[in-house]
Structure 1
């Protein structure tokens, strides 16, 4: 770094040794310098006397001399050179003077750099250290000593693990060896541990390592810098945690409450919480809440819960300990979930002890399973909607090592509050819908009656997406002469009025059917009745089967055509009928059509809810219906199930009435 030049003079002051660095420093090569008087070659006249005196003093006394002295360069200019002069003596007793010389500006720069480096290292707030190739400390600054709680002297000569036994020394030394091997620095690597300065809390440090090489490329060791970033790291973790919580709440707002089904809403809540918030989640609802009755449990007594959902992919034993989904479970007043539901307040057990498990589990056996599963933290938050406690969201941690804290209580409470409203809406909807469906079914015939010469099967499927009753209906009416009337219809709209209108039409249809009127005449009478009813119209298909002549006579009032499935002689096909106008329009004549209906043939009557969708062309759906009926002969009940399974979607917004009739011989069997 310094470019040190060496010059040796004999006792007369002649140059007898001239190093290559001297040639670089003074400009003279060895041939020009050797044998010359050094003072005459290198010093100007004004400094000559001084040089001679210094030279004589060194040789006579052996006293060394050091200092800066102006030297004449070969180029003619003058340079200031830093000298170190000393006397030498060989084995013969001859004396010589050795001069070591360096450019003064270079020395000044190096001294400045060293002083600056020394101050920076000593006064830096960042911990700094140098380790040799054996990874032992050779230099440590005060900041690192304070950080580690170990003096500078106690660092020197020791390895990282010897100074700091509570950090992952093996990982750190692995990084150091990699830096020594490759020369590639490691920048801002985070490491966590404890030091004698902070024996009771984890600290986070950002460490950087660099390999040190000398001018010849020889590896000297590793330099490292250490910054305590604990507060910044904790702030970053908290910011990330807050972001994840907001994301979880946003996710829950999309995923929870997608339907008006209590059980599905509970499953959605459990799915959202695992594994983001808990390892095991259960949604337990009070049984009397589901049945919409008052609790019969005395104050301070046990509570009957019903588990609507349980989730825990990584904890099979904890799942085994949970209540089976859909089954009731009685929890005594000392159980934590009971306390949560009774008080309407969260219950937090950050660190679960063995005694706590008996207050969490439903039985001693379940408590043992929870212990084996490693349940170490528990949280229950109430499900509250419109001021009523519906149940509790029950959370456990087994794999996640962190205990539940107050932030988790707030997050779980927010999720439970959102889900509780959806569960409450769903239970009210299901209650109203069950009542509506019960009313609708009461207006329809029960099991289709047996009739001479015909076998029938029927289905009514309420709309999935509406709590209001619909106006679809079917009917099978025994007539005189072994004839049977087959009816299917649809009152447009929904609600109690539509159901009432449907009930009137069904009653009127049965009355007109008893008069043994022609199908077109029956529809004309029904049309006049519908004109007297405001706001409603209806479609209807009325058919009469006479086994004696093996034919059906039918008339259509704006309804979709039935499908005839012959036993022999051809594929299934839509029956070609005059469409007619819906009942209630008025001013339109209805026509009666005769259709052969041989023994073994099937006639399929249905309402539009079976085939109409928002996105598919009606012609394609009708073709799909015909194709299904052409697949092969089945029992009529199985055919009903097959059609509904293939054509019906759970989210379809319309109800369906389906009626299938198969003719048979007068003796009772199909041909």
Structure 2
């Protein structure tokens, strides 16, 4: 009886009764052949049919050697078969086998003796294609070497995200031995919050099968807990040849150097952008307070969470930084915080005066002219950088952890200090931050120095200008007079605009408005010289054209200055007005019951040009009529046509006021821009009945 007839068939197990089969045996296609003691084939597996080409009916009952082997190999095979049957020792090796089609295939064999319950012996032969077996062996060897010797991190996790295989490189990255990985979950090995996205990515790859390539993960592991590292992680799902999901493979490459280089490059670019922004936004005006605010705006929040800018008060008042032996007195110019917090109240408020104790960073900057950097605030450092204990408490509650003070140095003088701190930004200040702050502080300091210098020069020029202008009596024979002078705003220098009212013989009055082209103390000085000359010439009882001719010669000698001027003389007994213009804007005549009009006068050339005669025009000026003389600062702007502005002037004058004083104020209020860049001189004379 053959063994095949006695062996009952075993039913297949359902998938839910145990773990699924491995695909490796299927991949090798292992064939099983059972031989009786005399060498005849008793059992023949389906895999044997695929490997040798003979069907079960063709093979069972045949002697194996003649059926499967070429004649030259049969004797050796029979001898080995007999040895196995006699000794019970197995044999392994390769034989060239003859296939049913007559070809030859090299087959790997494993032979062993089996004994049944009756004591009869059988030979079991397991066979597979030699080339297929070698390919599997090569792949296995390659995989083993790759995992153990690769300089990159490799791991395999099962479907529960537990480590199955970890190579030495990855174990070194994690700071956990290989053996301690196996069986533990991903979260047990990498528990930091930095690795939550990586875990989510692994779960997604496991569920979808879509691989992830080069996902960057930045964090810290037990291998180097004090420093940040970066890894490029690639994840793909592992499946057998039947499509069963085995888990995920994880490939990890340490790219810390590349990450740090990219981080440094990005930081450098941000610093360059910040420098460019600072150069463009700091110092847009000649105002120290605004420049300090612009500096704070540039630095918060790009570099710091808090910025305070203080200037030495003596420098603001006098332009000098010599503080002597006394503690430095600071005036706060700007304070800015990146977010609402009580810590913004810790520095002195803008406009207030304060002094700092000797160990305060601001005081040290003034003494040493060098910056102070405190990367990590510890212990009593907050008391040292704060103005008082309450300020220290506010800074502590805000979480301030790093601080620096930078001197504001312009033209070799330390004119103030800028303080910077961080709270929400966790990174401490470093030398690069300090260098950037010093660069921007230098830009701001020069602008502030220019602003203070300009303000002092402007104040001196304005003082000189006002001292040279006359103090008018509001009433002259047959005239009511009102005048105004407004200097240019702080953005511009004082110019050479002036007005004058001079009493002449015979109850006559000379009315003059002029404008020296230029600005600053030289223009104001030239204006004073022309006004003095005008007063002297007025006593000569010359007509206006002759007066301007003499002034033209005088101005020509004051090269390179030129000036415009209107000179008028009013005779109340004759109710006559004589006017002459030297390149000046036309006066306005306002007559009762008639619309205001620009006087059509020969314009003439500005004083100092020379060679062109001036003309005098005579007009009636009856009681109630008004003459308005003004300089170009009242009507000229940088954007509006002069004709439109003159039309605005006439429109405003068409509405009468109770007094010419009110008219002066209204014209200045409605015509002059608050940020006017030029001086304004305005003179209004209204004729009145001549008193006995």
Deviations 1:419-447 (A, max 9, x none): 33333333223222221222122222346
Cα 1:44/1:596, change in 2 over 3 Å = farther
The answer to whether the aligner puts 1:579 opposite 2:607 as a matched pair is no
Deviation of the 1:141 alpha carbon: 1.4
Q: Is the deviation greater in 93-102 or in 582-591?
A: 93-102
- Aligned equivalent of 1:352: 377
Q: Is the deviation greater in 99-108 or in 455-464?
A: 455-464
Q: Is the deviation greater in 518-527 or in 361-370?
A: 518-527
Deviation of the 1:158 alpha carbon: 0.7
Tell me the SS of whatever aligns to 2:586: coil
The answer to whether the aligner puts 1:13 opposite 2:37 as a matched pair is no
Q: Is the 8 A contact 2:33 2:48 kept in 1?
A: no
The answer to whether the aligner puts 1:279 opposite 2:305 as a matched pair is yes
Q: Is the 8 A contact 1:279 1:315 kept in 2?
A: no
Tell me the SS of whatever aligns to 1:291: helix
Q: Is the deviation greater in 274-283 or in 657-666?
A: 657-666
- Aligned equivalent of 1:423: 448
Deviation of the 1:272 alpha carbon: 2.5
Q: Is the deviation greater in 339-348 or in 127-136?
A: 339-348
Q: Is the deviation greater in 379-388 or in 213-222?
A: 379-388
Deviation of the 1:136 alpha carbon: 0.7
- Aligned equivalent of 2:682: 659
Q: Is the 8 A contact 2:649 2:667 kept in 1?
A: no
Q: Is the 8 A contact 2:371 2:407 kept in 1?
A: yes
Q: Is the 8 A contact 1:314 1:399 kept in 2?
A: no
In 2, Cα distance between equivalents of 1:372 and 1:567: 72
Deviation of the 1:360 alpha carbon: 2.3
Correspondences of 1:288-367 after superposition (within 5 Å): 288-292=314-318, 299=325, 301-353=326-378, 355-367=380-392
2:464 to 430, 434, 439: 439
Gaps of 5+ in 1: none
Q: Is the deviation greater in 561-570 or in 633-642?
A: 561-570
Cα 1:119/1:630, change in 2 over 3 Å = farther
Tell me the SS of whatever aligns to 1:437: helix
Deviation of the 1:214 alpha carbon: 1.5
Deviation of the 1:133 alpha carbon: 0.7
Correspondences of 1:139-538 after superposition (within 5 Å): 139-166=165-192, 168-292=194-318, 299=325, 301-353=326-378, 355-446=380-471, 449-450=474-475, 454=480, 456-462=482-488, 467=493, 470-477=495-502, 485-494=510-519, 498-511=523-536, 513=538, 518-527=543-552, 529-530=554-555, 535-538=560-563
Q: Is the 8 A contact 2:162 2:182 kept in 1?
A: yes
Cα 1:453/1:440, change in 2 over 3 Å = closer
- Aligned equivalent of 2:583: 558
Q: Is the 8 A contact 1:565 1:603 kept in 2?
A: yes
In 2, Cα distance between equivalents of 1:295 and 1:529: 42
Deviations 1:314-363 (A, max 9, x none): 25322212212122112233433112212222223333346333332223
Deviations 1:77-130 (A, max 9, x none): 312122344567899999876554332112112211110110111112222211
Deviations 1:7-50 (A, max 9, x none): 5456473575452x555544556787677665555432323344
Q: Is the deviation greater in 163-172 or in 584-593?
A: 163-172
Deviations 1:137-193 (A, max 9, x none): 111112222333322222111113323445645443222212212223333334344
Q: Is the 8 A contact 1:15 1:37 kept in 2?
A: no
Q: Is the deviation greater in 436-445 or in 582-591?
A: 582-591
Q: Is the deviation greater in 267-276 or in 209-218?
A: 267-276
The answer to whether the aligner puts 1:594 opposite 2:622 as a matched pair is no
In 2, Cα distance between equivalents of 1:324 and 1:267: 13
Deviations 1:48-95 (A, max 9, x none): 344455566667777654332212234433121223445678999998
- Aligned equivalent of 1:121: 147
Q: Is the deviation greater in 315-324 or in 503-512?
A: 503-512
TM-score of the two chains, using structure 2 as the length reference: 0.82
Cα 1:232/1:15, change in 2 over 3 Å = same
Q: Is the 8 A contact 2:155 2:167 kept in 1?
A: yes
Q: Is the deviation greater in 658-667 or in 232-241?
A: 658-667
- Aligned equivalent of 2:8: none
Cα 1:658/1:33, change in 2 over 3 Å = farther
Cα 1:134/1:372, change in 2 over 3 Å = same
Deviation of the 1:602 alpha carbon: 6.0
Deviation of the 1:627 alpha carbon: 6.0
Q: Is the 8 A contact 2:486 2:680 kept in 1?
A: yes
In 1, Cα distance between equivalents of 2:89 and 2:272: 80
- Aligned equivalent of 2:5: none
In 1, Cα distance between equivalents of 2:313 and 2:449: 13
Q: Is the deviation greater in 139-148 or in 229-238?
A: 229-238
Deviations 1:606-664 (A, max 9, x none): 3234455667654455456556667997743132122112xx755x4xx3323152747
Tell me the SS of whatever aligns to 1:325: coil
How many residues are treated as equivalent by the alignment?
Answer: 658
Q: Is the deviation greater in 26-35 or in 366-375?
A: 26-35
- Aligned equivalent of 2:671: 643
Q: Is the deviation greater in 267-276 or in 543-552?
A: 543-552
Tell me the SS of whatever aligns to 2:672: helix
2:632 to 608, 614, 623: 608
Q: Is the 8 A contact 1:331 1:338 kept in 2?
A: yes
In 2, Cα distance between equivalents of 1:317 and 1:344: 30
Cα 1:372/1:445, change in 2 over 3 Å = farther
